[in-house]
Amino acid sequence: MNISAEDAKSLLRKWQEERRIIQVGLISSLTTGGHLIGRIERIDDTLRIDATSLNKTGYSFALILDFSDAQEFRFEDWRDSPPEFTDQIRDICDSQLFIDLGNCHCELYALKTKAELS
């Protein structure tokens, strides 16, 4: 479902407080994109997700997203995923946030905690 920028920031702050591990995909075409895994380290006018807390050299791997570039925010959980991915997403993800940046798409997957996986 489409959500406002403020609702998206609230969700991201919740994930930050929970110290969720976030899987990030930045997709510009079917053949071009990048991925990283990290935690939300900053939310203000920009969002920063990096791997600092996961490994000592993680800071160099980061997503920095300026909210002013975002055209649309969409929240989903496993029930909204394509049938071929439903089981996989339900097993590892709490929920997802998709951000349309015009020239590319950003996919944020909040991975389940160890307690949720047990």
Q: 110 in a domain, yes or no? A: no
Q: 16 in a domain, yes or no? A: yes
| 9: containing domain | 2-105
pTM: 0.86
CB 99 within 8 A of CB 65: yes
Q: 118 in a domain, yes or no? A: no
Q: 114 in a domain, yes or no? A: no
Q: 22 in a domain, yes or no? A: yes
Decide: helix, strand or coil at residue 109.
Answer: strand
Per-residue pLDDT of the chain (118 residues; tens, 9 = 90+): 999 999 999 999 999 999 999 999 999 998 999 999 999 999 999 999 998 888 776 566 889 999 999 999 999 887 777 778 777 777 888 889 999 999 999 999 999 877 666 5
Burial per residue of 53-91, b for 16 or more beta-carbon CB atoms within 10 angstroms, e otherwise: eeeeebeebbbebebeebeebbebebeebeeeeeeebee
- What was the pLDDT predicted at 118? 58
Beta bridge partners of 3: 73
- What was the pLDDT predicted at 75? 94
**For the chain, what is the domain count?**
1
Q: What are the φ and ψ backbone dihedral angles of 91, each rounded to 5 degrees?
A: -75, -30
Q: 52 in a domain, yes or no? A: yes
Q: 39 in a domain, yes or no? A: yes
Q: 83 in a domain, yes or no? A: yes
